[in-house]
Amino acid sequence: MGKTLVWVQVPPPAPVTVTDALASFEQYRLTLPQLLDDLWSRIEATESRVHAFVSLADPNELLDAGNNLASLPLRGIPLAVKDNICTTQLHTTCGSRMLESYQSPFEATCVNRLRAAGAQVQGKTNLDEFAMGSSTEHSAWGPTRNPFDCTRSPGGSSGGSAAAVAAGEALAALGSDSGGSVRQPASVCGVVGLRPTYGLISRWGLVAFASSLDTIGLITSSVPDCARLLEFIAGEDPRDSTTVNADIPPYSRTLRCDLAGLRIGVPAEYIGDAVGDEALARTAHWQKLARGLGAQIVELNIPALHNALPAYHLLASAEAAANLARYDGVRYTPRSAAQDMLTSIITSRASRLGREVKRRIALGTLVLSAGQAEQYYDKAQHARAWVTDGLRRAFHSVDLLLTPTSPTPAFPLGARDTDPVAMYQSDLFTAPASLAGVPAISIPGGSVDGLPFGLQLIAPRLEEELLLGAAHAMELAVRGDL
């Protein structure tokens, strides 16, 4: 089963889930004041080392508001929100100096829906600037640290959300996932991270990075929590034309404890080229567990997956260059003093955007430029279609795909700071589902090198019910509860 997990500097939290908290409310074993007190005590004890949050709500205000929410399904429970998702009560900075004082006049649809169900916004979590990164080091507000080892990265870009849940500072959190930004930090922090089908959750109020890839996601400490929260935020939204008109099943009531009758595909050659011996042994162990739960394991070869990572980064950078053109120092931040508008814009962007954001804007501008688009952007679009078709064909013969979530466990802070290509490799296993717009989930899969290592399951489009059910069975098996 790998090495025993060891916490460095941050003691392990008591295992409290959304599901457990709600059950305790019903049975009068826990009250909202007690829950808030526990969470804020935890934050006071760990936040100075983990730095998961950018801003926090006033717990007294949450308590006062919670008194009117006891009859709603989520009973006033506080949840964390990634700081690129708009809220009206706290700033939305996207981890950037460009938006350091931005106060949104509206809230994201997913936040509104959680509020309607009785949840509250506990605080805004740290992220790589404008969600561009895999380590949560590229934030204007400083890096977030992995609660399992504070010398290591929590992954990114939703590293603040994952670290908050892993450290027990939040019961659950919203994140965003473009190429793996929910699943990869969930993997290296030892929590659950769901990227749903593109269009299942409204993007209204999510600050755009790469619009054809961006998806709101969930980070929780258990699959049942993920399933329950998804029921509240999924569904069509007239303010987001990319949302799908689909029935939302009761995900939390259709979870399963076995994999009987399921065929699970493993792209063995793709995995073998990318991970070390201990990670390969961990993947083999997952396959053994799946067989023990009644699944049939099928080795697959999906050649298109080799093209997913470069295609993703070219397309994401191109869309980022277009989306971030609006941040010119005119509308969203104090304008830099200059004699003419062009110099003001250049000065504002140069002084208020970070290095990684500038790198991706430069790459995106290049691949969209005259004479280069056909060579790079168009070919990346063809590769995306090839990856999508490769996954579609795979799902003709299997129900789910199983891979590691990330090629490695958490890496030391700063280790990949001067090597962006090594940083981009973090998305190796997560990029294919992003390009194809299909749902994928990372669950704790044990440990590699003594650190959390996530198991990823990928499902066909709109098959979240199947995905969550299988993930729950594997979650129980990995923990040894079956």
* Per-residue pLDDT, 1: 45
Angle between helical axes of 308-323 and 377-397 (0-180°, round to 10):
130
Q: What is the mean pLDDT of residues 138-148?
A: 97
pLDDT tens column, 470-481:
999 999 999 985
CA 363 to centroid of chain Cα atoms: 24
* Per-residue pLDDT, 345: 85
Antiparallel, parallel or unpaired: β 451-458 and 440-448: antiparallel
* Whether the Cβ atoms of residue 440 and residue 416 lie closer than 8 Å to each other: no
* Per-residue pLDDT, 11: 59
The answer, yes or no, to whether residue 166 has pLDDT greater than 70, is yes
How far is the CA of 184 from the CAs of 309, 357, 434, 444, 480, in angstroms? 14, 19, 12, 11, 23
Q: What is the mean pLDDT of residues 208-222?
A: 98
* Per-residue pLDDT, 417: 87
Active site residues: 82, 157, 181
How far is the CA of 428 from the CAs of 60, 275, 390, 431, in angstroms? 43, 10, 16, 6
The percent of residues in the chain predicted with pLDDT above 70, rounded, is 96
How far is the CA of 80 from the CAs of 2, 111, 330, 366, in angstroms? 31, 10, 30, 36
pLDDT tens column, 260-315:
999 999 998 777 777 888 999 999 999 999 999 999 999 999 999 999 999 999 99
Q: Which two tokens mark 201?
A: 């959750």
pLDDT tens column, 452-471:
999 999 999 999 999 999 99
* Per-residue pLDDT, 348: 86
Smallest Cα–Cα separation from 401: which of 277, 308, 324? 308
pLDDT tens column, 70-108:
999 999 999 999 999 999 999 999 999 999 999 999 999
DSSP sequence for 242-268: T--------GGGS--S--TT-EEEE-H
Phi, psi (deg, nearest 5) at residue 130: 55, 30
In the structure, what pLDDT confidence band is assigned to residue 4 with cuts at 50, 70 and 90? low
Q: How far apart are CA 171 and CA 155, in angstroms?
A: 19
The answer, yes or no, to whether residue 13 has pLDDT greater than 80, is no
* Per-residue pLDDT, 69: 97
Angle between helical axes of 32-50 and 59-66 (0-180°, round to 10):
150
* Per-residue pLDDT, 29: 94
pLDDT tens column, 320-359:
999 999 998 887 776 777 778 888 888 889 989 999 999 9
Antiparallel, parallel or unpaired: β 78-82 and 120-125: parallel
In the structure, what pLDDT confidence band is assigned to residue 7 with cuts at 50, 70 and 90? low
* Per-residue pLDDT, 16: 81
Give the SS3 label for residue 124.
strand
CA 243 to centroid of chain Cα atoms: 19
**Bridge partner residues of 214 (DSSP):** none
Torsion of CA 234, 430, 304, 459, to 10 degrees: -40
* Per-residue pLDDT, 480: 87
Phi, psi (deg, nearest 5) at residue 413: -60, 135
Work out the mean pLDDT of the chain and round it to a whole number: 94
The answer, yes or no, to whether residue 192 has pLDDT greater than 60, is yes
Buried b (16+ CB within 10 A) or exposed e, 25-56: beeeebebeebbebbbebbebbbeebbbbbbb
pLDDT tens column, 401-451:
999 999 999 999 999 988 988 999 999 999 999 999 999 999 999 999 999
* Per-residue pLDDT, 218: 98
Q: Which two tokens mark 101?
A: 């004082």
Domains of the chain: 1-482 (3.90.1300.10)
Q: How far apart are CA 75 and CA 380, in angstroms?
A: 46
Output the pTM of the full model: 0.95
Amino acid identity, position 455: L
